[in-house]
Amino acid sequence: MGLINQDKRKQISVRGLAGVENVSDLKTNFNRHLHFTLVKDRNVATKRDYYFALANTVRDHLVGRWIRTQQHYYEKDPKRVYYLSLEFYMGRTLQNTMVNLALENACDEATYQLGLDMEELQDIEEDAGLGNGGLGRLAACFLDSMASLGLAAYGYGIRYEFGIFNQKIVSGWQVEEADDWLRYGNPWEKARPEYMRPVHFYGRVDYTPEGVKWVDTQVVLALPYDTPVPGYRNNIVNTMRLWSAKAPCDFNLKDFNVGGYIQAVLDRNLAENISRVLYPNDNFFEGKELRLKQEYFVVAATLQDIIRRFKASKFGSTEFVRLDLSTLPDKVAIQLNDTHPALAIPELMRILVDIEELTWEKAWDIVVRTCAYTNHTVLPEALERWPVDLFKNLLPRHLDIIYEINKRHLERITKLYPGDVDRLRRMSLIEEADIKKINMAHLCIVGSHAVNGVARIHSEIIKETVFKDFYEVDPEKFQNKTNGITPRRWLVMCNPGLAEVIAERIGEDYIRDLDQLKQLLDFVDDDTFIRDVAKVKQENKMKFAAHLEEYYKVKINPNSMFDVQVKRIHEYKRQLLNCLHIITLYNRIKMEPNKSWTPRTIMIGGKAAPGYHTAKMIIKLITSIGDIVNNDPVVGDRLKVIFLENYRVTLAEKIIPASDLSEQISTAGTEASGTGNMKFMLNGALTIGTMDGANVEMAEEAGEENLFIFGMRVNDVEAMDKKGYDAASYYNRIPELKQAMDQISGGFFSPGQPDLFKDLVSMLMNHDRFKVFADYEAYIKCQEKVSALYKNPKEWTKKVIHNIAGCGKFSSDRTISQYAREIWGMEPSLEKIAAPDDPR
C-alpha cells in the first residue's frame, strides 16, 4: 500500500494537487457519508460502504458545478446539441470524475490517511456497460469532449436495467450471465420524476377536419435519470439523460379487464420491459418488435424534452416563451448515432405538423436543418430494415409520415432523372421485396442536412458504393468526421506513468490539446526519454501480469512481447487470421526448438453476440489452441495464448497500457474506423494492421514506416470480388497454411471431438466473405518483421515515440470541434467558467 502511494505521489501534476485543506475536507465529508450509510443500516462498514462514501464525497464536488453550468446555459441561451444514441458505454465513473476535477491526489491522500487503498475501492464500482463496443464507447468519449470544449450538450439514451452480458468461459465456451449492474444502486445518477413523459404505441390514425389524430394508443411513461458529465478542469458539468420505462398507474385497468386486478398489475412488466435489456448485437440487425419499441421510446421522450426546453428557455426576458418553432434549428442540433434513433425524423415531423400545426413544407425544412446522421458501418447485415407490417401495427402515424416523405423524395428524384425507374427503386425509403421494408439509412440521409462517415476511407466508401445515388443528388450533405478517443480516460487515467513522463518533457497542456504531442519528436533520439518510455511500458506489463495471475490464475512471462487483439468477436475482424498465425508460430517452434525465438504472449479478448454461432466457435477455437500450446513443454514460455475473459471498458483500461503489439487486421473496407487502434497507439503499442478504417490515417500521422502495414488494400479486395476469391488455391499453394488448416480440421486442437471445428473449416474453405487466406502470407511475413524489431528494444521504442507523437489527430476533442463547426454550427471553447465557490 505504502509503495503504491509513494509511487503515485511523484505524479503530482497530472493527478491534481493534494492540498492540506483539500485532504482534510475530503476526510470530513467521507466520514459524514460513511456515518450516514451506517446509521441507516448497520454498524460495521464493508468495502462497499467505503466505496459509496468515497463516490458520494466526490459527487459532492460535482453538484455545485452541475447546477451552475445548467444555470449558465439557461441565462446565455446557447445553441444546444443533443446526441441521440441507443448505447452509452461509460465504464466506471469514479476515477474519471477525480481526474476531470483534479481531485485524484487529494482523494488518494485522504483515503490513505484513513487506512484505505483507493485502488481497492475503485474496483468495487460496476461498469456501466450500456453498449456493445465501438459505437457506444464513441458516444461516451464524445460526451467527455463536448463538456471539455464547453458545448451545451446532452446525451440522450436508455437506462437499461441489464447492460452487455458478463462473459464467462466454461470449458472453453462462452457462457452469458445477466449484468445486474444496478443491484447495489448507482451513486452517479439522479432520478428526475418531475420530467416524466408519456410515450404512445399502437392505436390508429383518424383523419378529421381539425387535422390528423393518433388515437386509442397504449401509453408508457419515460422516467429520466440524469448523470453528470464533467469537462476537464473547466468547471463545466453537462448531463447524460437516460430514460427508464414505467407503466402508468391505470395500466390495463382502465378498460373492463377480464384477467382481473392482480393480472393487470403483473402485466405492468410488459410496458416496463422496454428498458429492461440492451440488445447484445454489434454490427448486426435483429428486427424484433421490442427493439423497435426501444428506438421509438428514446426518440419520443427525448423530443418532448428538447421542445419543452426550447420553449421554456429564457430569451432576453423571463416573460418571453418561444412559441414559434421556426427558429428551432438555430437553437437545437440533433445528432443521430447510427440509424437507431432515425425515428427522430418522422417523430419531429409528427410534432410539428399534427401538434404544432405547421405546414408540411415548413416542418420539413426545420427537421432537415436540425438533424444530422452518422453512419457507422457498410456491412449489409448491419443496416436497419424494418418490416412495414411491424410499423403499421406499432407506429401507424409514423408509417404514414414515412410514406409521405418517400412520395415527395421520389418526386424530386423523378424530376432530376426522368424515366430512370431503377434509380427510383434503389433510392426509395421502402424496399419492395417479398416483405416490404423501410430502409432506415435512406430515411436518415433524406431527413438530415449532414451525413458523415467515421474515417476518411469509410466516408469515401459510402459515397462510392452504398449511398452513391444519394451522393450524386446531394454531394454537399456528405462529410467525414474521423473518430477520436478522450485522452483523459485513455491516457491520464489509465496510464498515469506515461502521462507523467510526457508532461515532464512538454508540460501538461497536451491533455486539452493533444496536437502538442508532436513536440515529442524532439526527444525521439533522447536516450533518457527512450529509457523512461520503455520503463513505463515494462511497469505496466508487470502490473497486468500480476492482475492476470490474481484473477485468472495464469502465469505469463512479462519479458515476452504482449501481442493483443481485443474487440468484439466477428468474422470481419478476422480473429481467425490471428489464430492461423499462432498455429504457424507454434509449428515453427516445434520444428526448430533450439532457434532463438522472440517470446510472445498472445492475448485475444472480446464478446460474441449470443446468437452468433460462428463467433462462439471462434472463441472455442482460441481456447482450444491455448490448451495445446500452453501445455507443450517444448514450447515453454516462448509462446502463450490467453483468452481474456469478459473484455469490457475496465479491462481495456488495464490491458491497453501493457500492450506491445496492437492487432488491427480487418479485411480492407470493412472496419468503418476502429477506436481501439487509437487507444493502443496513444499508450505506446505498435500496430500491425491492414489499410482499413482509421489505420490509414494513423499511418499517415505517424509515418507508414512506424506501423506494420500488410495485406490487400480496398481496391485489391474489390478486384478479387470481381474475379472471385478461391480459398483452395491458397490452401494448396502455401504448405504452412495447409498444415494449420489440416490440424484444425483433423482434431489436433480438439482430440476429444475431431470434427468440432468442421463448420469453421468449411466456412474458411468455401464461403469466407472476409478472405482470410488471401492475407495470410503477407500477415506471417509482417509478423516476422515484428519479431525481429522487438529484439532491438531501442529501435522499437523509437517507433513507439513516433506513434505517440502522431496521436494528436485522434483526440475526440478534434473530432467534436469538427462536428461543432461543420455540422452543428457551434463554436467550441477552452474557457473555464467560475467554480461554485468563486464569486460570480
Q: What is the pLDDT of residues 45-91, one digit of tens each?
A: 999 999 999 999 999 999 999 999 999 999 999 999 999 999 999 99
User: What is the spatial distance between Cα 524 and Cα 503, in angstroms, rounded to a whole number?
Assistant: 15
Please list, in sequence order, all residues whose beta carbon lies within 8 angstroms of the beta carbon of residue 462, skipping any fewer than 6 positions away: 375, 378, 451, 453, 471, 478
Q: Which residues, listed in sequence order, are joined to residue 218 by a DSSP beta bridge?
A: 201
Buried b (16+ CB within 10 A) or exposed e, 625-640: bbebbeeeeebeebbb
Q: Which residue type occupies 21? A: E
Residue ranges of domains in the chain, CATH in brackets:
13-76+104-125 (no CATH), 77-91+127-484 (3.40.50.2000), 562-809 (3.40.50.2000)
User: What is the spatial distance between Cα 282 and Cα 777, in angstroms, rounded to a whole number?
Assistant: 29
Q: Please give the full DSSP string across 622-643, using - where no structure is assigned.
A: HHHHHHHHHT-TTTGGGEEEEE
User: What is the spatial distance between Cα 646 and Cα 165, in angstroms, rounded to a whole number?
Assistant: 9
Give pLDDT, residue 839: 62
The DSSP output letter for 352 is I
Q: Please give the full DSSP string across 168-208, using - where no structure is assigned.
A: EEETTEEEEE---TTTT--TT-EE-GGG-EEEEES-EEEEE
User: Is-contact 49 34, C-beta < 8 A?
Assistant: yes
Gyration radius of the chain's alpha carbons: 28
Question: How does strand 237-246 pair with strand 153-158?
Answer: parallel
Q: Please give the full DSSP string across 477-542, using - where no structure is assigned.
A: GEEE----B-HIIIIIIT-HHHHHHHHHHH-SGGGT-GGGGGGGGGGTT-HHHHHHHHHHHHHHHH
User: What is the spatial distance between Cα 174 and Cα 468, in angstroms, rounded to a whole number?
Assistant: 40
User: What is the spatial distance between Cα 388 and Cα 396, in angstroms, rounded to a whole number?
Assistant: 10
Residues in the chain: 840
Model-level pTM? 0.96
Give me 315's grid cell: 430569451
Q: Which residue type occupies 585? A: L
3-state per-residue secondary structure call for 106-117: HHHHHHHHCCCC
* Residue 665: C-alpha distances to residues 435, 506, 688, 802 (Å): 36, 33, 7, 21
User: Is-contact 749 628, C-beta < 8 A?
Assistant: yes
Give pLDDT, residue 2: 35
Give me 460's grid cell: 469515401
User: Is-contact 354 214, C-beta < 8 A?
Assistant: yes
The DSSP output letter for 123 is T
User: Is-contact 460 380, C-beta < 8 A?
Assistant: no
Question: Would you name the residues annotated as active-site residues?
Answer: 376, 567-568, 573, 675, 679
Q: Which residue type occupies 92? A: R
Q: Which residues of the chain have pLDDT under 50?
A: 1-12, 316-317
Question: How does strand 211-215 pair with strand 204-208?
Answer: antiparallel
Query: CA geometry: angle at 799 spanning 794 and 803, to 5°?
Result: 145
Q: Which of 829, 832, 809 is nearest to 149 (CA)?
A: 829
Give pLDDT, residue 9: 42
